Amino acid sequence: MENYRAGLVTCAKEDRISILPEHLIDSILERVPLEEAVRTSILSKNWRYRWTTMRALVFDECFSRKFAKNGAFGRNGFIRIINQVLFLHKGPILKFHLHIPNIVLDSFQDIDQWMSFLSRNGVMELILTNFNRRYELPSYLFSCLELTKLKLQNCFLKPPPKFEGFLNLEDLYLRNVDFGANLCGPQISLPQLKKLSMYSCTNVSNFNIKATRIWSLAVFTCPGVMLLQLLHSPCITRFAIRDFVQGERMNLERVLRNLPVIEALYIDGSSLKFLSAENIPKWLPHPVNSLKHLRLRNFEVGDLDQLHGALCLLRNSPNLKSSVIQLYMEPQVDVGLASNHLDTPNCLDYTLKQLQTVEIISLEGSGPELLFIKLLLAHSPSLESLTNRPSRDSDVQKRFDIAKDVMQFPRASTNAKMFYLDLEP
């Protein structure tokens, strides 16, 4: 009996977690899956209700995958489990992550109630990923004025007419969000917003915001987007755009004019083509002095509009240090005009004095591609490395021929190292 008691004392002394400060225990619980946190209630009386005061509740994809198979309201059903957790919860919820699976739901009534619950509990971070039918966000969401991070997927976002904005929001991520055919009401104020990401959103022209502190902006496949409404922040240092289609009269010069402190630019070939379709000047009125990193995706060197756009970016970015270029060759396209242009003596007519690293991805070894690489090597005296990643479709002989051709190109930099990696990442 004495040995048994001694063991209990030893165990009590070794239970160092229970004596930690409250905020550290909460931090530990928030780092384990929610169901594991709930199971700590069986450890002791002190732990029985510990999980009920957690400030972060994460019902993510892993959670929903486990419980969605029981349906919505069956025993251990997805909706029923979350209702029980929220019913027992006490205190504020600062982070709420909800993954809505593709299960049969008669309505989103319970989820609406969860939004109401969150609006009264000081939520600061809300992540809602919806793989069900599109969810129309209730008005309760717009009462969550403490939000600093908001991530929404597959939702209708229609702020009420008197909604003025999220005054504390810093990070906004929107994927497959519909802003409605008619958005009435005042401009939405987001004075603290620093990061805005929009993917495959619709009716974006109705998304009228005022956010002058954005430093990171990504707009991918959002038809009708009004770029000028989003580019009014003088702080944007990172800008990414893909599949841009006309929402307003816009060209490359106008975009760059509205990005006075841009440091990193990501643009795909179709957007570059659209923005370069008009006759852009060889030299822009103001050089893009701040641009240091350029990434081109699905860039067709054989497309003359895209080529002119890329050369304009290179020529007008005197402090460019690195570039990643993912190539794409449209089959059966006449590349003669692009090849002829690349072969002219004054094609670039500028020395890329600061360019240090270049990575070429999906290289097929076409004439325009090789001429473009030759151009970069000839105009980059500070180049330290050129990495070539051939297309997955190229065979061993083709890769060897590409390497042999590139090795023979003259280089402005005597320190430039060539790397040939087997395949594109």
**Per-residue DSSP letter, 42:** G
Question: Percent of the chain beyond pLDDT 70?
Answer: 84
More confident: 22 or 292: 292
Q: What is the mean pLDDT of residues 390-417?
A: 89
Please work out, in degrees rounded to the nearest 5, the angle formed at the alpha carbon of residue 177 by the alpha carbons of 175 and 178: 155
97 three-state secondary structure: strand
- The span from the CA of 46 to the CA of 101, in Å, is 35
Residue count (the chain) = 425
More confident: 319 or 333: 319
Distance of CA 86 to the CA centre of its chain: 31
More confident: 53 or 374: 374
Task: Give the helix ranges, DSSP H, for 68-139.
Answer: 78-88, 109-119
More confident: 310 or 41: 310
Please work out, in degrees rounded to the nearest 5, the angle formed at the alpha carbon of residue 256 by the alpha carbons of 252 and 261: 165
pLDDT of residue 12: 45
Does pTM surpass 0.75? yes
**Per-residue DSSP letter, 165:** B
Q: What is the mean pLDDT of residues 109-126?
A: 94
pLDDT of residue 229: 79
- The span from the CA of 226 to the CA of 246, in Å, is 8
pLDDT of residue 138: 95
pLDDT of residue 91: 83
Q: What is the mean pLDDT of residues 75-83?
A: 79
pLDDT of residue 8: 40
**Residue pLDDT, tens place only, 371-386:** 999 999 999 999 999 9
Q: Is the dihedral of CA 295, 349, 252, 367 positive or negative?
A: negative
Pairing of strands 195-199, 149-156: unpaired
Nearest to 239, CA basis, from 220, 224, 253? 220
Q: Is the pLDDT of residue 340 over 90?
A: yes
Burial class (CB in 10 A: 0-12, 13-18, 19+), 75: exposed
- The span from the CA of 391 to the CA of 378, in Å, is 24
164 three-state secondary structure: coil
**Residue pLDDT, tens place only, 233-284:** 899 999 999 998 766 678 899 999 999 999 999 999 999 999 998 778 889 9
Nearest to 134, CA basis, from 181, 179, 188? 179
More confident: 72 or 232: 232
Beta bridge partners of 323: 294, 358
What angle, rounded to 10 degrees, do the helices at 109-119 and 78-88 form?
20
- Look at the block and give the residue holding tokens 């240092």: 237
